[in-house]
Amino acid sequence: MKIGIIGTGNIGGALARKLGAAGHQIRVANSRGVEGVRAFAEEVGATPVDIRGAVKGVDALILSIPFPAVAGLPKDLFDDLPEAAPVIDTGNYYPGMRDPQISEIDDGLAESVWVSRQIGRPIVKAFNNILAYSLAELGRPAGASDRLAIAMAGDDPKAKTIVAGLVNDVGFDPVDAGALADSWRQQPSTPAYCCDWNAEETRAALALAQPGAAPAKRDAMMEAYSKLGANPTHADIVASNRVANAPN
């Protein structure tokens, strides 16, 4: 598949590496233009492009950028994206820590529904509820007993089938989390968020999510992390998330 990736941070960068290694043709873009992404593209065997080059004629598009950048994307950016190509949103909303307040989300709108409205396209929410280290290092072959899972939510069954294949390609079990409106169940500080669960555990965690409970936990996240010390291990972070994100 031809896959465009806008954003080369921890998640977008890991996806570029792993999807390229799985045999896909990867185009990468970031806010610094073609030359700004060239060195990374050469490192991972991808094609450096601008954001329009990441969209035109691809089979799938991954948006892995902060929320403020979504609102700043050109309104006509997606005109050259084939209708059948899913747009995959990997983002998470962190007001106060990184992002400005977005009143619609603060009032309860699912984060990826807001993203879909900004870009004027249906999307699939995926790759947002896994730690960057887990995505980069903990993928396993299908059927492995220690294989972790990634949740995905969206309204188009065909698009979700494509995304499920990509999740599998990078070494994780895809778990259908329902419609895009249900994607709040995999947002920051819900039981399914960044806890390194397997497929069965992820389904159970999604079901345990409580409407309106996550924002207060999310806003206290940095305090919880500060208690781990200066150099927490990955296991420390996962253990902390499992405690902090558990339903009350």
Domain span at 222? 2-244
Consecutive 10-residue averages of pLDDT for the chain (248 residues): 96 97 97 93 97 97 93 92 96 88 94 95 97 97 97 98 98 98 97 98 97 86 76 93 91
CATH of the domain at 48: 3.40.50.720
Strand partners, 174: 150
Per-residue pLDDT, 73: 94
Predicted pLDDT of residue 6: 98
Q: Count up the domains in the chain and report the number.
A: 1
pLDDT of residue 163: 98
Question: pTM score, two decimals?
Answer: 0.95
Give the residue ranges of DSSP H helices in the chain. 10-21, 33-44, 51-55, 67-71, 103-106, 111-119, 132-137, 157-169, 199-208, 214-219, 221-226, 234-244
What is the Cα–Cα distance from 188 to 23, expressed in whole angstroms? 31
